[in-house]
Amino acid sequence: SQRGRGRNCTGDMKIEMDKLVKAGANGIIIDLRNNGGGSLADAIEMGGLFIPRGPIVQVKDMRGIEVYADQDNDVNYNGPIVILTNMYSASASEILAAALQDYGRAVIVGSKSTFGKGTVQTFVPLEGGMSEVFPRGYGQLKVTIQKFYRINGGTTQLKGVEPDVVLPDVYDGIEQGEKEMDFHLAYDKIPAADYKPFNPYKEAQRKKSIELSKKRLQKNPYYSLVQQRAKELAAVRTSYTYSLNMMKFEEQEAALRAQDKPLRDYKNRSICDTVMALDVDMQGVKGDAIKEAQKLDWLKRYREDAGMDEAVRILFDWSGK
C-alpha cells in the first residue's frame, strides 16, 4: 500500500495480516510495547482495518472538537486480537489501543498503563528581525496545540490506556510517563463520540478469556519473581546512593545485576516455545546471512517473552482453537 510514493505502517500491517490469515491464523497479536507512536493518519487507518466505518479518535484544539473516523466500510480481519502494551507505548500507539479497546474489538494486555502522551505540539519560529547576533531568528518555540481524546470521551493524556489484563512489570514501583514531566496537562473528558461496540467474534468468550488470564497470572511463577523485583527496585530508587569511587561503583552495579539473575534464568528458558516464523518469511531471508540471523534472534526473543506467551494463551481461550 502506498501513501504518495512512500510506505506506511497501515499498508505494511495489511500485507503481514493477509499472510497470517492465508496461513490459517486463529488470532492476531499486535505488539505495541516500546512503540512511541508516529503518524496519526496511520493510527486511524490501522484501526479501520478491524472495524467498519466509524470514529477512531477525537481531537480538541482552540477551534473546538473534531472527530477523526475510518471512512472505509470494509473489515479486513474480524477474528480475535490481542494488543500488547507497556509504559513506553505512547501517542499514536495509545490511540490505536484505546480505539480497539473502546469498540471491544481487542483485549489489551500490558503494564498498568501506557505512557499518557495525549497532546500534539508544533514549532513556532521566533523571528530575529535585523539582529546582528541572531540574523536568522531566535530559534523556535515548541507549543502544545491539540489534545487527543478516546471515542469514549476520556483523554489519553496522563492516564494513558489501562489494559484489560495487567502484566506485572519490574518498574511498577517507579512512577514513569507523562505524569512525571513538569507542567503536564491534566486528564479530562469530553462527550463521547457516536459509536457502537463492534465485537464480531465470540464476545462472551472474549470476556471469559480476560478472567481466565487474570486467574492464570496469579499463579504464574515468572510474574511472582517480577513483582518481587519491582519491590526491590522501588526500594533502591528511594534509598540508593551511588559511590563516586569507580571500583565501589562497579561492585554496586554487579550486586544489582546479581539480583536480576532469577529473572534472567527464567527468561533464558523457552517460555513461549510455540512461536515460529511463517515459511514465506523464512524463505524471504534465505541466502542472506544477516537477515536470517536477525529473524532467528527475533524468534528467540519472543520465545523467551512471558508477555507474548500470555497473549497467545488469551487468543487460544478466546478463539477456542
- Domain annotation covers residue 186: yes
- Domain annotation covers residue 145: yes
Q: How large is the greatest C-alpha to C-alpha distance in the chain, in angstroms?
A: 72
Q: Which residue has the cell 484544539?
A: 61
**Set 31, 89, 111, 117: catalytic member:** 117
Position 1 scores a pLDDT of 36
**Set 31, 102, 172, 317: catalytic member:** 102
Number of domains forming the structure of the chain: 1
- Domain annotation covers residue 3: no
- Domain annotation covers residue 276: no
- Domain annotation covers residue 294: no
23-11-84 Cα angle (round to 5): 70
CATH for 184: 3.90.226.10
Number of alpha helices (DSSP H) and beta strands (DSSP E) in the chain:
10, 8
Position 2 scores a pLDDT of 41
* Host domain of residue 237: 9-269+304-319
What's the start-to-end Cα distance of the chain, in Å? 31
φ, ψ (nearest 5 deg) of residue 64: 135, -150
Contact status, residue 137 vs residue 125, Cβ threshold 8 Å: yes
- Domain annotation covers residue 160: yes
Position 270 scores a pLDDT of 62
d(C-alpha 154, C-alpha 104), whole Å: 16
Fill in the DSSP letter of residue 140. E
Q: Does the annotation mark 172 as catalytic?
A: no
Q: Which residue has the cell 516464523?
A: 277
Share of the chain above pLDDT 70, in %: 94
- Domain annotation covers residue 296: no
**Set 31, 70, 91, 209: catalytic member:** 91
Amino acid identity, residue 223? Y
- Domain annotation covers residue 236: yes
d(C-alpha 80, C-alpha 21), whole Å: 12
Position 291 scores a pLDDT of 93
d(C-alpha 67, C-alpha 307), whole Å: 33
Q: Which residue has the cell 506506511?
A: 8
- Mean pLDDT in each 10-residue stretch from start to end of the chain (321 residues)? 65 94 94 95 96 97 97 93 98 98 98 97 80 74 96 98 97 91 95 93 93 96 92 83 91 88 75 81 91 92 91 94 75
Q: Which residue has the cell 500507539?
A: 93
Instruction: Please name the helix (run of DSSP H) or strand (run of DSSP E) that holds residue 84, with its range, or none.
Output: strand 81-85
What stretches of the chain show up as alpha helix (H) in DSSP?
Answer: 9-22, 40-48, 92-102, 203-218, 221-239, 246-259, 261-267, 279-285, 289-303, 306-319
Q: Does the annotation mark 117 as catalytic?
A: yes
Torsion from C-alpha of 208, 212, 213, 216, nearest 10 degrees: 180
Q: Does the annotation mark 22 as catalytic?
A: no
pLDDT in tens, 85-123: 999 999 999 999 999 999 999 999 999 999 999 999 999
